Structure 1
Amino acid sequence: MTDTVPSRRQVIADDMRSQITTGQLKAGERLPSETRLASRYGVSTSTLRNALALLQSEGLIEKTHGKGNFVALTSRRLTYVGGGRKPLEASPIDSGLRVTVHATHLQAQGHLIPLLRVPANTELTQFLCVRNEGTSPHSLARIYVPRDLQEKNLPCEPPSCANFEARLAGPCPPLAEIRERLTARLPTPEEVEILQISSTLAVLDITRVAIDGTGRVVEAALLVLPSHRTDAYFITHPVPVERKRER
């Protein structure tokens, strides 16, 4: 049986990974330019970029647009907990991260119409939330709330981007259902810029919709989480067979 010959991309990634894990390349250190690295390894810049993208997917390299590639600092992993439950108390998602929030008013257009089940031009408030650890963006979320819910002065707090999973677990009025959809995809150019990641690095795209007892969508969130530093948990509590028969 013939052994598979590793690709040049893999050989470069293995060598750089070894330099990082042994401390030859230190956390926070800026790497030589992609052109210099490609010349050093005797490959094209596209092959070199593929090797860097592989290391970035492992959380070892971070790319800052306009500045270059850096050995990643030790960073906190994100923990997303599904099923309408609060994030794990011990999760580092809530500690040591700075959150920036920008609220804007807009009208429902395009995909927001079926997402929130509202007529076109319905007044909405959008909360754009970006989590950062130092200068490193960790995640972003867009949270949408119908304006008339806020105008009714409902006895509930405004969305908390620092803990938006918990916020969606208990908005007012009481919820009857939370729907979540998780997909993996490549980031958009805007997400690449905001999150400072490679365009070849997959992100977790989570759409989370909160619905009240009347069937109305009271809140929707579009979350984008870098796949190389995100864990997602979904906990299910099956209904016992006896209880099913009783129904």
Structure 2
Amino acid sequence: MATRYEEIADDLRERISTGEFPAGSTLPGYDQLTLGYKASRATLREALNRLQAEGLVRPVKKKGLVVRDPGERRQVARGSVVRRDPTRGYVFPAASAPDEPWVTHGRPAASTVPAPAPVAERLGIPPGTRTVRQRWITSPAGQSPFQITDAWIHPDVLAETPKLGEPGAAPGAYLDRIEEAGHGPLEWEERTTIRPSSREEAKQLEIPAAMWVFEVVTVGTSHRTGQAAEVSVQVIPGDRVEFVTKLRRDRTARWPVAPAASAGV
């Protein structure tokens, strides 16, 4: 049997899905909702926390809980090849279709900051070493922020190409500069994990603080040195994407197969 807060969450979810509270609108305040549902503030808080965890609403300062429009969940094929876009440069396995226009939210930023331990480890430098971090917040045109991309440049590579410390016009432009400096062709390895979002990430991606995110880390290795020249970290809301892998049969599973022997049968 559903608890009272689950019943309220179900009803609000239905009212959102039917358009009574469309994307971008603000839910009624606590006083109005507690009166309408004849429930305590604690019960209502539990119901609203559930909607936030599901990504249906997010708190906005001085407005309240705003209904989100996460857009259609996009598929990212794992094991895909890196392709080139005439204006964006290199495009890694991503949720964008060829020639789909993407936009940058705000201005690209470049700053010299201490490298966090996971990034420093992949770059092969001591944790806390100050190096350049390029940052872009991007999405398909007309949509809310889809991802944060932080590109960390190895200090030795930066010394060869000082312009890498300047904000790039396109997210892929810095890779061209690295390859032109004698490190091409770069080779990449990618790893994906999930984790809770930080407060800063939730604000920039316009998601509830309770929402988890995908973290996609790509390491670009120099052809000349065999060492990491750059590390990029993409952060994507958990409700915006799904990763898809087409499975193949190992030689031990080639068709036709012999019936498996069941233990104890």
TM-score above 0.5, yes or no: yes
Amino acid at match of 1:200: A
Match of 1:180 in 2: 190
Match of 2:20 in 1: 24
Question: Following TM superposition, by how much is the alpha carbon of 1:120 offset from its aligned partner in structure 2, in angstroms?
Answer: 5.4
Asked if the contact 1:79/1:93 (under 8 Å) is kept, the reply is no
Question: Following TM superposition, by how much is the alpha carbon of 1:126 offset from its aligned partner in structure 2, in angstroms?
Answer: 0.3
Matched, 1:70 2:66: yes
Residue 208 of structure 1 aligns to a residue in which SS? strand
Matched, 1:140 2:186: no
Asked if the contact 1:102/1:127 (under 8 Å) is kept, the reply is yes
State the alpha-carbon separation in 2 of the partners of residues 218 and 236 from structure 1.
31
Asked if the contact 2:52/2:210 (under 8 Å) is kept, the reply is no
Match of 2:131 in 1: 124
Question: Alignment identity in percent?
Answer: 26
Asked if the contact 2:103/2:138 (under 8 Å) is kept, the reply is no
Matched, 1:61 2:69: no
State the alpha-carbon separation in 1 of the partners of residues 98 and 15 from structure 2.
30
Q: Any unmatched runs of 5+ in structure 1?
A: 242-247
State the alpha-carbon separation in 2 of the partners of residues 23 and 137 from structure 1.
22
Residue 8 of structure 2 aligns to a residue in which SS? helix
Q: Give the greater-gyration-radius structure (CA).
A: 2
| Superimposed CA distance per residue, residues 156-179 of structure 1 (whole angstroms, 9 cap, x where no aligned partner) | 9x9968655x97799622356533
TM-score (norm 1): 0.71
Question: Following TM superposition, by how much is the alpha carbon of 1:139 offset from its aligned partner in structure 2, in angstroms?
Answer: 2.4
Match of 1:244 in 2: none
Match of 1:114 in 2: 121
Asked if the contact 1:159/1:167 (under 8 Å) is kept, the reply is no
Asked if the contact 2:58/2:207 (under 8 Å) is kept, the reply is yes
Matched, 1:225 2:225: no
Match of 1:198 in 2: 208
Residue 132 of structure 2 aligns to a residue in which SS? strand
| Superimposed CA distance per residue, residues 89-139 of structure 1 (whole angstroms, 9 cap, x where no aligned partner) | 527974366463110123446443213112456552101222367694332
Amino acid at match of 2:18: T
Question: Following TM superposition, by how much is the alpha carbon of 1:202 offset from its aligned partner in structure 2, in angstroms?
Answer: 1.4
Matched, 1:12 2:8: yes
State the alpha-carbon separation in 1 of the partners of residues 177 and 248 from structure 2.
19
Question: Following TM superposition, by how much is the alpha carbon of 1:38 offset from its aligned partner in structure 2, in angstroms?
Answer: 3.8
Amino acid at match of 2:136: C
Residue 26 of structure 1 aligns to a residue in which SS? coil
Aligned length in residues: 235
Asked if the contact 1:99/1:162 (under 8 Å) is kept, the reply is no
Question: Following TM superposition, by how much is the alpha carbon of 1:145 offset from its aligned partner in structure 2, in angstroms?
Answer: 0.9
Q: Any unmatched runs of 5+ in structure 2?
A: 83-91, 253-265
Residue 228 of structure 1 aligns to a residue in which SS? coil
Residue 100 of structure 1 aligns to a residue in which SS? coil
Question: Following TM superposition, by how much is the alpha carbon of 1:9 offset from its aligned partner in structure 2, in angstroms?
Answer: 3.3
Asked if the contact 1:210/1:220 (under 8 Å) is kept, the reply is yes
State the alpha-carbon separation in 2 of the partners of residues 161 and 77 from structure 1.
27
State the alpha-carbon separation in 1 of the partners of residues 204 and 249 from structure 2.
39
State the alpha-carbon separation in 2 of the partners of residues 92 and 37 from structure 1.
45
State the alpha-carbon separation in 2 of the partners of residues 93 and 230 from structure 1.
16
Amino acid at match of 2:199: P
Amino acid at match of 2:97: A
State the alpha-carbon separation in 2 of the partners of residues 233 and 92 from structure 1.
21
Deviates more, 1:199-208 or 1:227-236: 227-236
Question: Following TM superposition, by how much is the alpha carbon of 1:17 offset from its aligned partner in structure 2, in angstroms?
Answer: 2.0
